[in-house]
Structure 1
Amino acid sequence: TGFVENEVVQAKDKNADWRPRIVVYGENGETKVYNLPVGVRVVVQHNSDIDAGTVIAKRERATTKTKDITGGLPRVVELFEARRPKDPAVIAEVDGSVDFGEDLRGKRRIIINADAGEPVEYLIAKNKHINVQKGDRVRAGEALTDGSVNPHDILRIEGVNQLAAYLVNEVQEIYRLQGVRINDKHIEVIVRQMLKRVVIVDAGDTDFLVSDSVEKYKVIRENQKVQARGGKPATYEPLLLGITKASLSTESFISAASFQETTKVLTEAAVCGKVDYLRGLKENVIMGRLIPAGSGVAEYANRRITVEGQQEEDKPEIKISQTSLESLAGLL
């Protein structure tokens, strides 16, 4: 057809400091430089005139042939198991502006000049597509390259709330493409269980050890006791666990044994002499007991609700007015 395209290929000498790029000269004398990764095809010719918004290079993307829910389920498993991607995206750790330094050992060097603090450097393979250009502003947590984002990096850089929002949005996106509607609360319950444990950084005056993996509510409760005595509380960092590991690390060995590795869990519980206090839902269902939720909570077991003027004798009761009952009925 006579149509010619230039493609960027990997240099034979990987240590050569070659940087394929396109330089666009504006009418007002302004110049803009676009770095090109390996595998990109340049669709414009040298010295050709272009307008703002013109495509100057294209990159082929691999697509899946099947577009059903089964194609997205491996991604759901990857998210809920908190697996680290094989080729994760590099994400910015600080807010700042992007700059490029000299290549090192065949890799590109990206420098982020932080708004506060020292510059941060990243070494990126030349065959990876870089999403940012020189002078761009980035914020902490923004992907600098293509690829799946490592959820552990999001937790470390942006915190628990941003990680929870990321996991919910990623899972919803997979189901939404198939027209499946799921309320966020179902995914949020799973994410909450994945984030229920923390790692002790400084034990302070508590009985914990550094690097211990402990449920968050235990640390908070212990810190309150220590602070009441005037001691130093423990400091901790959030920990992300996959659903399999989170289920097996629960306090109840009956609940853990009902999920996976039953023999191993029961053997370990017997050797350690563990006691299950049946505080959760699953273990109470397994034992055939009333679950500790709603009317099953011990505090409400012997209480009665009576209307004023119709009190029962010799029974614990909660006095409630007729107006309050009507308001409650309206809510239900």
Structure 2
Amino acid sequence: MRNLLNIFKPKDQTEIFNSIKIGLASPEMVRSWSYGEVKKPETINYRTFRPERDGLFCAKIFGPVKDYECLCGKYKRLKHRGVVCEKCGVEVTQSKVRRERMGHLELASPVAHIWFLKSLPSRIGLLLDMTLREIERVLYFEAYLVVDPGMTTLKKGQLLSEEEYIEALEEFGNDFDALMGAEAIRSVLKDVKLEDLINSIHQDMGATASQIKLKRLSKRLKLAESLLQSGNRPEWMVLQVLPVLPPDLRPLVPLDGGRFATSDLNDLYRRVINRNNRLRRLLELNAPEIIVRNEKRMLQKSVDALLDNGRMGRAITGSNKRPLKSLADMIKGKQGRFRQNLLGKRVDYSGRSVIVVGPTLKLHQCGIPKKMALELFKPFVFSKLIYQGEAATIKAAKRLAEAQGPEIWDILDDVIREHPVLLNRAPTLHRLGIQAFEPVLIEGKAIQLHPLVCKAFNADFDGDQMAVHVPLSIEAQLESRALMMSSNNILSPANGEPIIVPSQDVVLGLYYMTRERINDLGEGHIFTDVTEVQRAYDVVGSSRVYSPTANLS
């Protein structure tokens, strides 16, 4: 019976791992990731709204559009799970696989990866001991690169202009081999023997005294040793197979009026596929060399734009004159995949708001807006409502909380009493970037912060935002109170000096209060107790400030 129920659970293919590393992918590895080759630039059929076969959204390659239903409709529902339809070729499985399954594109001509070409310093240039300009001349068909000098006087890796190449042909005939484009770069990279290169660099470093040469040689040595140690081959920096991102990561969304909104990546992929298909057709037709060269250059530029638009000069723009967002743009920066989605995930029981000063707060307190606190402490409020008999079920408690009656605020006040919350201000550069406070309910929408803890957070009140997190378990609350409370973090862990010190308005106020006022009321007077001070204050009136140097015997 237990096994019968397991058929409703999806197959768990979770791999347990301790770390990840980023490296070069070989053509074989890219093909192993792929579920099929994308051959056509089409996305969907605009009449039937179904994915085109072998296109950028092909259901055969990337998986079904609907859960447990093939494209033609022959196989439907869970009982056919895992079946591949013989008519449309689509596997019957969950549609979420369209977020995971990759395709690939077999390039008609090799293409250099722009990240390894245009990075500073150029990794390809460093390995081949060539300048970036020289490599660009070869890649964009402005110069020939000698791949095999044979028995001639030419040198391997030497650049030849069109005229020099013709002269060399007349002089040496076919005794040497010189190529253009990414094929030439790949051929030279393939011949690089990393062990021999490392030994050669060590010898050169011992023979030279120039600091500039030594610096470049040390960079070459570091790159060669890293490639050897990681098991990556230099020729993998030139692409032969291009991976195609899963379609749900570059969606096509229907809008009103029969129009579609699409990811920029689809336009960039379409451009690559069109040029690749055109180049393959030209090669099959044995087209003139000048036409083939031009198409190869166009293919290189379109792949450059797909990987990192704008890196090679003018960016490719869309219909609205806006630069298209490439794969590099999706990864890098604050809004990129790493910082936005992997490092900065959204979590439950957390909130975020602008901070304002709370001069009436104690050092260990922070002001939390009422509505935010109600949302953060909702489960505790529900529990309290049921415990007190105000509600019989969670549903009833939810209704009461949404109504936000007076009794809800009383219960919330009771719930948050002595339940610390964590305040975090990004970037959290040291441990005092996250501290615990006792929440105080306030009106409005901004979080109130004690002015003396600003230095630890490196915060100011010009529009800074802070995040609130609720420690749920008793252990977490105890740790927050014992280790993270702001009143327990008065000294900086970096140097042991006080980090909570009077500053700005506080210093100004202290100065104003303790300023000497010669011959002012109360100056030099002696009072026997606080009652006398109060009586004198009442006589003068609240509009006058007593001299601070009045003595109390």
TM-score range, shorter chain: under 0.3
- Of Structure 1 and Structure 2, the greater strand share is in 1
- Of Structure 1 and Structure 2, the greater helix share is in 2
